[in-house]
Chain A
Amino acid sequence: MQTLRICDIGLSIDASLAFHSMLKIVDGRSLASWQTSDAEHADVLLVQANSNPGALSAWTSSGRPAVLVIDDRASWPPAPFVLRYPFRVMQLLSLLDSVAEHLRSRSTRVASEGAAWAGAVSLRHLMAQTGERGWHIAHAGDRAFLWVGDAHAYALPATLQGLRTGTMALGAFSAAADPPPAAALRCALRDVAWYVGAHGPAELAPWLRPDTSYRLRGWPDFGRLGTAPHLIELAATAALRPHLPAELGERAGCAPADAYRFLAATSLAGLLTSFTRAEAIEHPHNVAPARGAWTRFVADLRRHLLRVA
């Protein structure tokens, strides 16, 4: 198991005590073994947002990740790793795992990310081309398995099932003369795009930005596409108002990776719209008055339905 060192600076006494206590609890449950250290030897910095801009700037220029801690009243900063105090053990664990995954893949990110997102990027490019004639084919090894043409996707039933369940990865498309076989089924291109994004890498897609806010402009048809844990929660949160990618997962109560995949899927399917920070702040949205008992009841109902469904 990878050992990572983390240093906290600028936290309040309560936040620092909570962090150190929880770090002991997550020991053995995280993707990495976490040790505290001084800033000079740390791999990761846990820092109170706005407490020491100079130190943070120097830290981030070294290429090492920083986790920004904000309090309840602070706005969500445009950063990939943000933790709002007070936080729970599972929130800390989820975030530390995201940081560990980020560090683990960093050395090979350029090569692997390019390959991992190749199919999605290629599909996105194809979907943006209007009036494109002819066929484009994605391969799995030497075998052609997905055809795009006539504004639709064509594939054998087993291939579509593989894309739907995420057991089949999509490679880059290339132009081809051959049409799909007669046994291939036709399906909506945006549905294939949804599956590709929903089962994509656990990182923010290369065409999305951590400092940009996103809001749903249309709900996915979960009746047709199928659903998975957290997808409905993410959609309901993303429909309400624009959120930064890291903020969306936190507010929907799920891991950052789930939010990143949701954003990739909705953006590929044309269901997402982006906002600058200023636009996001100004964006109007309807919010029902918060009532404690009501909120608890609704949360109980949602959990009940998740169990019985």
Chain B
Amino acid sequence: MSALGGGEFKIVFTGPMGAGKTSAIAAVSEVTPVATEVANSDLISHTKASTTVGLDFGHITLADGQVVRLYGTPGQARFRFMWEILGRGAAGVIVLLDATQPGALVQMDLFVDAFLPLVPPGAIVIGLGRTTLPGALGSDAFAARLDARGLLVPVFSIDARQPRDVFLLVRTLACILEAQALPEVAA
């Protein structure tokens, strides 16, 4: 990790319960992710059988041996204290949402507001799952809501189980970071 001055390069996957954070990390991590799932006791929020209560962890190794660490947060607001612990020092955040969930737009606001202060300017990408199902909101609705707040954030329709889609999110984040880091030419 010498290139990063002894620090770590960390990308955080966040979003509400059932949005696909654990699946997304499993889709792109080179190792079986470390997960802290327990039986879901909040069946009102989501009917899935298990849910993350601590964190998910996976990694991607680059050609020169350097490592990108992938952390997944718990989705439930009662574990919000974990969001700041995991988000602090992150290179960027990927917010995953379920487009069929009632209140998905409000959920997006909640997670964007929580992580925006923790990451570099603009280092946020939204992955929207289940957009092709009946009743789902399209990505335009989410982009418009962000635009109304003055935020220009990529919102992509994805399947969090598909490595190609998750790599698209991570690559977009890398492109944003790289574009921002390029030295400016004097105007």
A contacts, CB < 8 Å to B:
72-76, 84, 216-219, 221-224, 227, 232-233, 235-237, 239-240, 251-252, 281, 286-288, 290-291, 293-302, 304-306, 308-309
Chain B residues closer than 8 Å to A74, beta-carbon distance: 185-186
Q: Are A297 and B139 in contact (CB under 8 A)?
A: no
CB nearest to B139 among chain A residues: A221
Chain B residues closer than 8 Å to A287, beta-carbon distance: 121, 180, 184
CB proximity of B26 to chain A, nearest CB, Å: 15
Q: How far is the CA of A21 from the CA of B44 in the complex (A)?
A: 70
Is B152's CB within 8 Å of the partner chain A? yes
CB proximity of A290 to chain B, nearest CB, Å: 5
Is B39's CB within 8 Å of the partner chain A? no
Quick one: which of A288, A300, A305 contacts B167, CB cutoff 8 A? Answer: A305
CB nearest to B140 among chain A residues: A221
Q: Are A293 and B4 in contact (CB under 8 A)?
A: yes
CB nearest to A226 among chain B residues: B168
Q: How far is the CA of A224 from the CA of B123 in the complex (A)?
A: 21
Chain B residues closer than 8 Å to A233, beta-carbon distance: 175, 178-179
Q: How far is the CA of A67 from the CA of B176 in the complex (A)?
A: 30
Q: Are B182 and A290 in contact (CB under 8 A)?
A: yes
What does DSSP make chain A's interface, helix, strand, loop or mixed?
helix
Q: Are A290 and B181 in contact (CB under 8 A)?
A: yes
Which of B45-53, B58-66, B75-83, B105-113 forms part of the interface with chain A?
Answer: B58-66
Is B154's CB within 8 Å of the partner chain A? yes
Most buried by B among A239, A293, A296, A301: A301
B contacts, CB < 8 Å to A:
2-5, 9, 60, 62-64, 66, 68, 91, 120-123, 127-128, 131, 139-140, 143, 147, 152-158, 163-165, 167-168, 170-172, 174-187
Chain B residues closer than 8 Å to A223, beta-carbon distance: 127-128, 139, 156-158, 165, 168
Contact flag A236-B178 (CB < 8 Å), given A224-B157, A293-B3, A306-B171: yes
Chain B residues closer than 8 Å to A76, beta-carbon distance: 185
Q: Are B178 and A222 in contact (CB under 8 A)?
A: no
CB nearest to B180 among chain A residues: A288
Q: Are A218 and B187 in contact (CB under 8 A)?
A: no
Chain A residues closer than 8 Å to B154, beta-carbon distance: 219, 222, 235
Q: How far is the CA of A306 from the CA of B140 in the complex (A)?
A: 26
CB proximity of B43 to chain A, nearest CB, Å: 29
Chain A residues closer than 8 Å to B62, beta-carbon distance: 297, 300-301, 304
Chain A residues closer than 8 Å to B143, beta-carbon distance: 218-219, 221
CB proximity of B168 to chain A, nearest CB, Å: 6
Q: Are A281 and B157 in contact (CB under 8 A)?
A: no
Which 4 A-B pairs have CB atoms at the shortest separation, nearest pair first?
A286-B121, A223-B156, A236-B175, A219-B154
